[in-house]
Amino acid sequence: MAQSTMLTSLPIIDESPKRTPQRPAPTAPLPMSRAEMEARGWDEIDIVFVTGDAYVDHPSFAMALLGRLLESEGFRVGILSQPDWHSCDAWRTFGQPRLFFAISAGNMDSMINHYTANRKVRNDDAYSPGGAIGRRPDRATLAYCQRAREAYKGVPVVAGGVEASLRRLSHYDYWSDKVRRPIILDCKADLLVYGMGERGILEVAQRLNRGETLHDLRNMRGVVYRLGASETPPDESADGVPTVTLPSVEQVTEDRFKFAEMTRISHHESNPHNARRLVQFHNRECIVVNPPAIPLTQDEMDRVYNLPFTRKPHPGYGKANIPAYEVVKDSVQIMRGCFGGCTFCSITAHEGRIIQSRSKESVLGEIRQMTADKDFKGTISDIGGPTANMYQMRCTRPEIEAKCRRLSCVHPTICKLLGNDHGPLIDLMKAARNEPGVKKVLIASGIRMDLARHDPVYMKELVTHHVGGYLKVAPEHTDPDVLALMKKPHAEDFEKFDEAFHNASERAGKKQYLIPYYIASHPGSTLDSMIDLALFLKRNHYKPDQVQDFIPSPYDIAACMYHTGLDPFTMKPVYIAKHLRDRKLQRALLQFFKPENYFEVRKALQQAGRYDLIGDGCDCLIPSRPPREALDDRRRRANESLQDQTSGDHIRGKPGRKPQAGKGYRPGRKSASRRKRR
C-alpha cells in the first residue's frame, strides 16, 4: 500500500463550503423490481442494496440515505428489500450487478429485532409492512451475504449497517450465550464498512468504477477486511499507520480477562483523528480494522439530507402500515453522533462521539418540503437526533480533540473544553416553529439533562414551546455504582432537572410531566439497588409505563461486563443478574404498583429481607395480602401455560399459530429437535 493513499477519505461534496443548500424536488423511489428498473430505461444495475427493512424513501432509513447518495453520483441502484433468503432467486431480480452487492441487516441488529431480553420471539417487527414477523432471518447479514455469493460468483460483496458494524470484532452474543468470531469471517464478505456508511459506500463505488480491485480498497478508512493464512498482516513500518494487535479470537473466547482487554483497547481506538489500526488473529488468519472514517462536515451533512427523498414508503406496499415509519414520518434529524458514551448504548460505537450537525437552512428546507405535503397535519413530531440538545456542540480545542481518547465528554464530569452552548439550537427551534404551515414542533428524541438544566434560556424555550405535555428523559437508575458503570450522571442531576422542569412549566402556565426511563438488570444492579430505585419511584410518584430490560448488545462495554463479570477499564468484579428469575424480579420492582407483579415483588422483598416494605406503611411497596387482580392474573397465566404446553402454540406466542419451519433460528428448527431427543 502506498503511504500517500493510505487511509484517505474521499469528500462527498466538491462544492465550496460557502454555499446555500439546495433541495431538489422529490423523484421516484429507487427501483425494487426488474420492471421498475426497465421503466427507467436501465438495462443493468450498478449496485444492488440488500436490506432487512421495508424500503421507505425517508432519510431516517439507511437504504434511502445511501441509495439516494449513490444515485446523485450517477450510479444505478436497485433496492432488494426483505428478500426471501431460502434461495438466491431474489438476488437475481435485477441481474448481475455491475459493481457490487451492498448488504445490510437493517436499521437494527436482527437478533435484537427478533427477540426480547428474555430471548422470546417478538410478536411484531416495526420495520416490516403491517409489523409482520418472519420477513428476515436471524443474523441476517450472514444469510444475505451467502445468498449474494451463490447468486453471482465473483461479484464483490460489501457488508455494512448496525449489525455488521457492532460485530466487526470478536463479540459476546447474548442469544447463543457465547463469544462469536468477527462477522466478516462468517459472512465471507469481501469488505465490511463500519459506522455511518456515506463515505464508505461512495468511495467503494467510485473506486471500483474506476477499475480498482478489492485489494486496492484495503487502504480505506472505516473498513474491515480479512487476510488469509498466506497473506502478511499490515505493518506500520510499511505505510506509517500505527497498528495494535488485539488478543486473538481463541484467547478472548477462552479467557474473560482477554475479552475485557480487547474491549478496553478497541473502545479507546474510536476517535478517527488518532485511532490506530487493529489486527485480530484467528488461527493463521486475521482480520484488519482500519481507523474510523472522518465525520461528515456540515456541508456534507446538508448535501446528504437535501437529496430528493419522497419521505414515504415505496408505493409497492400499498396501504400497509410500517410502524417504524409512522414514528418518524413527521420528524427531522438535525444531527448525528453522541458524546455521552453510555456503556449500554450502541449509538456512540456506531455513529461516533463527534457531533455532526446540519445547517439551519438545510433543516428549514426539509420542513418546508413537509408542509407542502397535503398529508402533513402541522405537527413536527421530533426535531433532534440521538440526543436532541447536542446540536452543533463540539470540542472548543480541535488540537486537543485530535488527541483525546476520553470515551465520554460528560462523564464523570462535563469536560471544560466542551462547547455546550444551546444558542444555535434555540435559534433553530424558534425558526422551525415560525415556519408557515407549522403548528407545533415537539422534542421526542430525548435530551441530555446534565447539559439542559444549566441553561435556563434553553429550558424556557423547551418547556414553553416544545413539550406536548410529556417529556421523555433517561436517568436509568439511582444507585451511584450502577450509574458509574453506565457512564450516566448522578441521580441528583435528575432531581435537579425535575425541579427546573416543573418550575419552568409553572412559569409558562403549563402542567407538564416527565417520563423517566429506567433499566432493569444492568451490570452492577443488585436486588437491593433495585429496591432502592422502587422506593425512589414511589416517593416521587413515578409509575413507569415502559420498562427497559437490559440486553447485552454486541460490542457494547456493558455487554463485556455482562459476559465477563468485569469492568474492562478497572478489571474489578461486577455483579451480574444473569438468571431469568433474577431478571424477572428486577423488572417487577420497577413496576411494583401493578397487581400482576405482586408475587414477583413479594419474592424479591423476601429474598432481600425487606419485610418492612410489605404492608400498609407509607413506604411499603405492596400490601401484605395479594389484591384480587394479582390472584386473577396468576390463575390466567397458569391456564395459558397449560394450554400452550398441550397445543404447541407457545412457539409464536399467539393462540392458533403453528410453528413455522425455516424462519431463521426458531425453536422449531431441526437442531432443537435433535437436542430434545438427546
- Give the tens place of pLDDT for each residue, 262-283: 999 999 999 999 999 999 999 9
Res 501 pLDDT > 60: yes
Cβ proximity of 53 and 30 under 8 Å = no
Longest CA span, the chain:
77
Cβ proximity of 121 and 652 under 8 Å = yes
Q: Cα Rg for the chain, rounded, in angstroms?
A: 25
Q: For residue 100, which of 141, 184, 157 has the smallest C-alpha distance? A: 157
CA distances from 310 to 23, 78, 358 (A): 12, 16, 19
Res 190 pLDDT > 60: yes
Q: Work out the pLDDT band at 261, boundaries 50, 70, 90.
A: very high
Dihedral of alpha carbons 327, 548, 514, 545, sign: positive
Set out the domains of the chain in order of their start, with CATH numbers: 27-226 (3.40.50.280), 331-472 (3.30.750.210)
Grid cell of 167 as nine digits: 460485530
Res 51 pLDDT > 80: yes
Query: Quick one: pLDDT at residue 258?
Result: 98
CA–CA distance, 628 with 63 (Å, rounded to integer) = 51
Does an H or E element contain 470, and which? Answer: strand 470-476
Output the 3-class SS for 215-234: CHHHHECCEEEEECCCCCCC
Query: Quick one: pLDDT at residue 352?
Result: 93
Query: Quick one: pLDDT at residue 45?
Result: 97
Q: Who's near 400: CB < 8 A, 6+ residues apart?
A: 417
Span 588-596, average pLDDT: 94
CA–CA distance, 227 with 169 (Å, rounded to integer) = 14
Query: Quick one: pLDDT at residue 670?
Result: 52
Cβ proximity of 369 and 59 under 8 Å = no
Span 71-80, average pLDDT: 97
Cβ proximity of 148 and 253 under 8 Å = no
Cβ proximity of 109 and 166 under 8 Å = yes
Res 314 pLDDT > 80: yes
Q: For residue 106, which of 135, 77, 84 has the smallest C-alpha distance? A: 135
Grid cell of 520 as nine digits: 432493569
